[in-house]
Amino acid sequence: METVTPFADIAREIQDAGGGVFKYCYQCGKCDVVCPWNRVTNFSMRRIVWQAALGLPEIEVDDIWRCTTCGECPSQCPRGVDQIEVAVAIRKLAASYDVFSGAASSLRAVRTSIVSEGNPLGEARDQRTAWANGLSVKPFTEGMEILYFVGCYYSYDPRNMKVAAATAKLLERAGVDFGILGTRESCCGESIRKAGNEEEFKTLARENIKAFIDHGVKRILVGSPHCYHTFKNEYSEFMVNLEVVHIAQYLQELVEAGRLELTGRFDKRVAYHDPCYLGRHNGVFDEPRDVLGKLSGLELVELPDTRQNSLCCGGGGGRIWMHTDREERFGDLRLAQAQEVGAEVLVTSCPYCISNFEESRLGLAGNGGPPEGAVLEIRDLTEVVLESFGEGGERP
């Protein structure tokens, strides 16, 4: 057997980057057992943690970019190791040397777009409010009830723009006095941080915090679990305490307060998918189910791998910007599970999940999958609630 000499300096560098939890790992392999990657290919998070402990990370291979930061392995680790911290620390090391191998090569363009335009999609900042064309959405001013922080995918991605429009229509229906920051809004920075770009994250956080302070924001509404997680758990590093609420929570709040009466119908069998950053990372499980359960005609069924053990869509940790081979898409597995329980509609509350599930849906429909009528509909929670009133989620 070959003897491997640890590189203490590199191990210390990984530790200084926030990955020092590797020292608690005793290589039981539980992380590999629960990792969703091992449903579609061979991948070892245990090996990555061990390489970090030895100071021998392989920063020039794709494996360090596979982790979606879904949280499944740290939630089940018997030693309390946060493997996400180790993965991100190694990515910081790779980013510092500008090493973005294989699928991660797209991160260079993403980083450039975030720095120049405040979003990862290569879109112009002055088009950030295009989703609201034809809607009575106002700029946020001090004294308004809540700031709707739209987020990048809801602002620019054509499919997710429909979700932003549905959200605005529901807020208007409930009589909520809300506004948006428009071009003053920048990416929350969660995913670029998980991709190892710490300085870019700090710049984005400071820009957003300044915008919140300048506008007198007291309460923030978000649709993206990634924005929710970042504002709630990470922006506190900048000595601010933000009151942030996810739309799933806010809809429940509006319903319970009698401001949004769910008087319509949605006569379909629905399965709800828990996004990793809303459910497993932040414990929001019941609110979206409670809202769906109040819709007349809706039959709610549970998926395999649900709630705390929900199957990741594959979009976290910056993976939403990286190419994933068709045979390795987690979304295909999730749609198959939804079809197994007889769901007609797969509902979620995350733009990454929407994007990945739509990609899988289109792939299955066009590649010898179920006939078109049998392919699931993919909906955001807001779209389902809006459709129950007889309104479509499409932009005007």
| Per-residue pLDDT reduced to its tens digit, 308-321 | 999 999 999 999 99
List pLDDT tens digits, range 122-144.
999 999 999 999 999 999 999 99
Same domain (yes/no): 248, 277: no
- Decide if 109 is inside a domain: no
CATH number at residue 238: 3.40.50
**Banded model confidence at residue 1, pLDDT cuts 50, 70, 90:** very low
> Are 245 and 219 in contact, with CB atoms under 8 Å apart?
yes
* Domain that residue 13 falls in: 8-99
pLDDT at 367: 59
Instruction: Please give the torsion angle defined by the CA atoms of residues 284, 286, 287 and 293, in that order, rounded to the nearest 10 degrees.
Output: 150
> Are 382 and 223 in contact, with CB atoms under 8 Å apart?
yes
**Banded model confidence at residue 214, pLDDT cuts 50, 70, 90:** very high
Same domain (yes/no): 325, 214: no
Cβ count within 10 A of residue 363? 15
- Decide if 23 is inside a domain: yes
| Mean of per-residue pLDDT scores for the chain | 93
**Token pair in block for residue 39:** 């449903």
Whether 80 shows a pLDDT value over 60: the answer reads yes
- Decide if 170 is inside a domain: yes
Residue found by looking up tokens 């990370």 in the block: 57
Same domain (yes/no): 251, 266: no
**Token pair in block for residue 289:** 């189910």
- Decide if 396 is inside a domain: no
In whole angstroms, what is the distance from residue 185 CA to residue 340 CA? 41
- Decide if 1 is inside a domain: no
pLDDT at 369: 53
pLDDT at 9: 83
SS3 sequence of 200-228: HHHHHHHHHHHHHHHHCCCEEEECCHHHH
- Decide if 77 is inside a domain: yes
pLDDT at 8: 77
Q: In 3-state terms, the chain is what percent helix, strand and coil (to 5)? A: 50, 10, 40
Short-list 308, 333, 274, 378, CA closest to 36: 333
* Maximum Cα–Cα distance across the chain: 70
Same domain (yes/no): 242, 266: no
Mean pLDDT of 360-364: 89
> Are 272 and 304 in contact, with CB atoms under 8 Å apart?
no
**Banded model confidence at residue 393, pLDDT cuts 50, 70, 90:** very low
Mean pLDDT of 377-392: 92
Structural domain count, the chain: 3
State the pTM of this model.
Answer: 0.94
- Decide if 232 is inside a domain: yes
Same domain (yes/no): 130, 32: no
> Are 276 and 70 in contact, with CB atoms under 8 Å apart?
yes
Domain boundary (194, 229, 255) is at 255
Same domain (yes/no): 134, 198: yes
Whether 395 shows a pLDDT value over 80: the answer reads no
- Decide if 113 is inside a domain: no
End-to-end CA gap in the chain: 67
